[in-house]
Amino acid sequence: MMMNKKLLFFIVLIISISCNRDDDSSNNTKPVHGRYTHKIPDCVVGGDSIMNCIEFVDFMSNNEVSVLIGGGDIVWTTSYAQNGNKIQIDKKNGFSFEVSFMVENESNLIRIEDNEVWTKSQ
């Protein structure tokens, strides 16, 4: 009976040691910087109150970001938090959209809400 408990303990220990961390909590991701853009699919400027067919996020220093989203004409400045590969844009300073990204690589972000690719432009 004692042998079974020891065996079970070692199996659980080996399994827990061998588990990988989730990608979005990885500490080896570089901080993002620069502008990432996205073209709104089937966009027509002026149709349905759309003023811009290009959305962008511009990551600046001190965790500040400028955001143009949803076809509007207001560029919002707010903050963001990056935890590994996940980036969450903060809802503050009047910005109320749900915007978060997964870092695919240095050139691309994937918006979590709609799975669309945003490409680095500068």
| pLDDT the model gives residue 51 | 81
Give the domain extent around 31. 24-120
112 near 100, Cβ under 8 Å? yes
pLDDT at 54 over 90: yes
What pLDDT is stored for residue 85 in this prediction?
95
pLDDT interval class at 82 (50, 70, 90): very high
The yes-or-no verdict on residue 81 having pLDDT over 60 is: yes
What is the pLDDT at residue 24?
44
Q: Identify the CATH number of the domain in which residue 66 sits.
A: 2.40.128
Task: Please return the burial class of 108, using the count of CB atoms within 10 Å of its CB with bins 0-12, 13-18 and 19+.
Answer: middle
Residue 19 counted as domain residue? no
Q: Which residue has the higher pLDDT, 119 or 21?
A: 119
3-state secondary structure of 61: helix
> Tell me, what DSSP letter sits at residue 37?
E
Residue 4, domain member (yes or no): no
Domain count, the chain: 1
Residue 8, domain member (yes or no): no
| Residue 32, φ and ψ in degrees, nearest 5 | -80, 155
Residue 111: pLDDT band with limits 50, 70, 90: very high
